[in-house]
Amino acid sequence: MNRRNFFSRNLAAALSGAAIGASVPGRAKAATEERPKISGPGGRPLRIGMIELDTSHADSLARAIGELEGAELTAVINSGLVYTSQRTDKFVSEHKVKHVCRTLQEMVPVVDVALSIGVNWENHVSDAEPFIKAGKPVFIDKPVIGRESDARRLMELVTRYKTPVFGGSTYRYQDNLVQFKQEFQKRADKVALTVYGKINSHGRDDMLDLIYYGIHGTEIMQELMGLGAVSVNYLDFFRKQHIIHVHYDDRPPVILMLGWARNQNEVALLTDRSIENLAPGGGETYSKILAGIAESIATRKADRPISEQVEACRILIAAQKSRILGRKVYLAELTEADGFNGKKFGLEYARFRAMSREELRNWREAEHR
């Protein structure tokens, strides 16, 4: 079986230390610049718990927390899917973490909020559940869910316990996308929207990257279009591009182009008279997310409905089902059996993380022959 180019330059950048953390606040700040301020209940520092240290997101979030006045990374859990206890020991030392917890139940009483950021999306909801039940806001990393059963469970938990849940792609928080959205939603001359997303799939059946990396482009699309996707039609796979049509009633059609062709996520809006393009990015987002989570302790409101966070994931679950069935799939017909295998992705991710730079380079060269 041909191995997938699972991460290509994304993983290479991560292994060289050039991953997401390059845009973390404070890297280029003057020493005299005032640190952003947040606080926890009663005005004391916000105590943050982090679940899993699988990816560079853990390091980026830890640095962002360190740049905030009034916040501390209080506790972590690392189950060891990707990294051993050596990673935990180094991480705890670098970021002055007070507690290394063995279980979620051990973490709940010592934190105010939690970050569920494991690479295996099948654990996202179960990891968040004890905190949701305790009324403690949670951030769930992308993809928020990868299975329809988890979508339903998360919706049920949030509806019952009213706990704020944040999550998904950080592209939603980019300033230039927020500005573009304001103009986009005012326009009456929209004809069609095309969203390009960078992922590394090799073939039509190569779908795990679709949910893990393709969620960025899909959430950008949904940030602009809003809730209400009706159906999804997987149209084709051509030159390493998944081509997907998303239908909304009484709204412009959307084409998702998710694959190798673009090196960045990008939007192209066709209007009656022009094509307008946007590449979301260029700003730090974690501090905005953390500030919103801190505020939600008092307001009991997340920055967007949980249904919106879940729908972007369900669009890609429907795309996979459409590919399999060879027809349009309505979101309403998804069943609990539908979704992506997060455990398989996590194991493959761990395998690549264990490669040396030389092994990764040799493998990548072989893939491109």
DSSP state of 282: S
Q: Are 22 and 227 in contact (CB under 8 A)?
A: no
Whether residue 354 is predicted with pLDDT greater than 90 in this model: the reply is: no
Distances (CA, A) of 203 to 159, 173, 198, 324, 343: 39, 31, 14, 14, 20
User: Looking at residues 187-204, what average pLDDT do you find?
Assistant: 89
User: Looking at residues 340-355, what average pLDDT do you find?
Assistant: 91
CA dihedral of residues 19, 23, 27, 32 (deg, nearest 10): -160
Closest by Cα among 133, 190, 176, 157 to 279: 176
- Cα dihedral across residues 303, 308, 310, 313: positive or negative: negative
pLDDT in tens, 159-194: 999 999 999 999 999 999 999 999 999 999 999 999
Extended strands (E) in 78-180: 99-100, 113-116, 138-141, 165-168
pLDDT at 369: 54
pLDDT > 70: percent of the chain? 88
Q: Are 225 and 181 in contact (CB under 8 A)?
A: no
28-42, 296-310, 343-357: segment of lowest average pLDDT: 28-42
Query: Phi and psi at residue 171, in whole multiples of 5°?
Result: -60, -30
- Any bridge partners for residue 229, and if so which? 248
Q: What's the gap between Cα 357 and its chain centre?
A: 26
pLDDT > 90: percent of the chain? 78
Class of residue 43 by CB neighbours under 10 A (exposed 0-12, middle 13-18, buried 19+): exposed
98-103 long-range CB contacts below 8 Å, 24 or more apart? 98/72, 98/74, 99/74, 99/75, 100/75, 100/76, 101/49, 101/75, 101/76, 101/77, 102/77, 103/77
Question: What's the CATH architecture for 173-281+315-342?
Answer: 2-Layer Sandwich (3.30)
Distances (CA, A) of 360 to 137, 218, 366: 38, 29, 10
Q: Are 156 and 150 in contact (CB under 8 A)?
A: no
Whether residue 23 is predicted with pLDDT greater than 50 in this model: the reply is: no
Amino acid in position 334: L
3-17, 36-50, 264-278: segment of lowest average pLDDT: 3-17
Residue with tokens 């301020």: 37
Whether residue 1 is predicted with pLDDT greater than 60 in this model: the reply is: no
Beta strand pairing call for 266-271 and 190-198: antiparallel
Top pLDDT among 37 and 90 is at 90
Q: Are 85 and 109 in contact (CB under 8 A)?
A: no
Amino acid in position 297: I
- What integer best gives the mean pLDDT of the chain? 89
29-38, 60-69, 246-255, 330-339: segment of lowest average pLDDT: 29-38
pLDDT in tens, 255-285: 999 998 888 999 999 999 999 999 998 667 9
Cβ neighbours, 10 Å, residue 80: 13
pLDDT at 11: 36
pLDDT at 357: 82
Which tokens is 250 given?
A: 């009484």
Whether residue 33 is predicted with pLDDT greater than 90 in this model: the reply is: no
Beta strand pairing call for 165-168 and 266-271: unpaired
Whether residue 291 is predicted with pLDDT greater than 70 in this model: the reply is: yes
Whether residue 14 is predicted with pLDDT greater than 50 in this model: the reply is: no
Whether residue 15 is predicted with pLDDT greater than 50 in this model: the reply is: no
pLDDT at 24: 35
CATH code 3.40.50.1820 for 9-27+36-171+284-304: no
Amino acid in position 151: A
Whether residue 25 is predicted with pLDDT greater than 70 in this model: the reply is: no
Tell me the domain boundaries of the chain: 9-27+36-171+284-304, 173-281+315-342
3-17, 103-117, 321-335: segment of lowest average pLDDT: 3-17
Distances (CA, A) of 356 to 16, 82, 136, 339: 11, 14, 39, 32
pLDDT in tens, 105-137: 999 999 999 999 999 999 999 999 999 999 999
Class of residue 175 by CB neighbours under 10 A (exposed 0-12, middle 13-18, buried 19+): middle
* pLDDT bucket at 63, cuts 50 / 70 / 90: very high
Closest by Cα among 52, 111, 50, 48 to 87: 52
DSSP state of 54: -
Top pLDDT among 6 and 317 is at 317
Q: Are 139 and 166 in contact (CB under 8 A)?
A: yes
Whether residue 74 is predicted with pLDDT greater than 90 in this model: the reply is: yes
Whether residue 26 is predicted with pLDDT greater than 50 in this model: the reply is: no
pLDDT at 4: 42
Query: Phi and psi at residue 135, in whole multiples of 5°?
Result: 80, 20
pLDDT at 361: 77
Residue with tokens 């180094």: 90
